[in-house]
Amino acid sequence: MRFKSTILIYLLITSLIAKPSEDGMPILEVTIGKNYPTGSYDKYADNGFSARFSYSRQFINNEYFRWQVAFQYIHFDSDKSTTSFLLENGDQGPTIDLTRRERGLLINAGMRYSMNKGVVKNGGYFRPYIGGYVGLANFRDATFYDWGD
């Protein structure tokens, strides 16, 4: 938890002192946070960590429209449990630690309409935008077994 707090403080400070990009310059955005799915499905419905990296660049001779590509990683909470079983001879078998992890990887591309100079005059730090994207997603569910020594 301390590592996440340190990263968030670093990103906040650098975003406040960084110079806004010039007109036409690319923009690299990093978003780190926590995801809260709706829970409508059995899988991929737990809260977890999320990170998104995006790169956008202005179209030639167009002040407001930009193309953008992005990559996002979503980690859903891991479920951990311990179980054991009886052997054929009736003895107690080993204890098994089970870990189930779910994650999603997404890549998308599209266009966005944004204010390059920002909302605040000559500020450039707050740039709301609206966009549309098309992409691919890969969701993975993995179970790990630990039998001990």
pTM, whole model, 2 decimals? 0.65
Q: Over the stretch 78-125, which tens digit does the pLDDT of each residue have?
A: 888 888 888 888 888 888 898 888 899 999 999 988 776 666 665 556
- The burial of 91, by beta-carbon neighbours within 10 Å (0-12 exposed, 13-18 middle, 19 or more buried), is given as exposed
Q: Quote the CA–CA distance of 113 and 132 in Å, as a whole number.
A: 9
Could you tell me the sign of the dihedral formed by the alpha carbons of 43, 45, 47, 49, in that order?
Answer: positive
Q: Over the stretch 1-44, which tens digit does the pLDDT of each residue have?
A: 566 667 666 665 655 445 555 566 788 888 888 888 776 776 77
Give me the residues paired with residue 98 across strands. Answer: 81, 145
